[in-house]
Amino acid sequence: MEKRLSRRNSLIALAGLAAAAAGWRAEEAEAGPAAVASGAVSCVLTPEMTEGPYYLPDEAVRRNITEGRPGTPLALRLTVVSVASCKPIASAKVDVWHADASGIYSGVQGDTGTFMRGIQPTNAHGVALFDTVYPGWYTGRTVHIHVKVHLGGNVVHTGQLFFPDALTDAVYAKSPYSNRPSRDTRNAADSIFRNGGSRSMLRISRRGSGYVGAITLGVHRS
Ligand code: FE
């Protein structure tokens, strides 16, 4: 709480300077820190979580990251907003990476592939879209997707996205996931999920033979 207050105070102090700052959008200055401080706007800061050992920089810019690998189709709809104003952030670069259906990350541990990794820019509505498959599990972790948000050359968010356990159970009951042993870790037992994972849950809806996973990521612009 103390940290949040000091952040808020520094935002209030900055508010007067903000209008003059290059790159600060006019509408954000209007609805920004002062509005947040007054309670007129509230936006949820998406929790920061470890990037883990499998991040690789310079991933390909592409919407479909599967490279033809099997799995239950999953469309990701990731919306990036400023936590100060709740307004969408356009032209951010959203970077995702996750294990394939068999629980393998590309490009690490001797693998030379690039599957299940990619970057998409946000559009004018702050939305980045990916087409992938439901991730497989690996030892000691609940099912998750890693995400970074880059803005103007800076990383403004590093997090992980999670799925309802009941949905994972249903997906994993089918091929190719059902060819593997049962996963060893569910959300409640995952050390990373326990630190804010409930605020990083994808909202799931059905689409065709698969799903759409959507979430709004509230980030600081720097
Ligand atoms: Fe991971």
- Say how many Å lie between the CA of residue 3 and the centre of ligand 1: 28
- Say how many Å lie between the CA of residue 79 and the centre of ligand 1: 21
> Which residues make up the environment of ion ligand 1, defined by Cβ < 5 Å?
52
- Say how many Å lie between the CA of residue 1 and the centre of ligand 1: 29
Cβ-proximal residues to 53 (8 Å cutoff; 6+ apart), any chain: 108
- Say how many Å lie between the CA of residue 86 and the centre of ligand 1: 28
Nearest to 85 by CA among 11, 47, 35: 35
Give per-residue burial for 83-92: e unless 16+ CB within 10 Å, then b: bbbbbbbeeb
- Say how many Å lie between the CA of residue 199 and the centre of ligand 1: 17
Question: Tens of pLDDT along the chain (222 residues)?
Answer: 333 434 433 333 333 333 333 332 333 333 444 544 554 445 788 999 999 999 999 899 999 999 999 999 999 999 999 999 999 999 999 999 999 999 999 999 889 999 999 999 999 999 999 999 999 999 999 999 999 999 999 999 999 999 999 999 999 999 999 999 999 999 999 999 999 999 999 999 999 999 999 999 999 998
Contact 51, 181 (CB under 8 A): no
- Say how many Å lie between the CA of residue 147 and the centre of ligand 1: 10
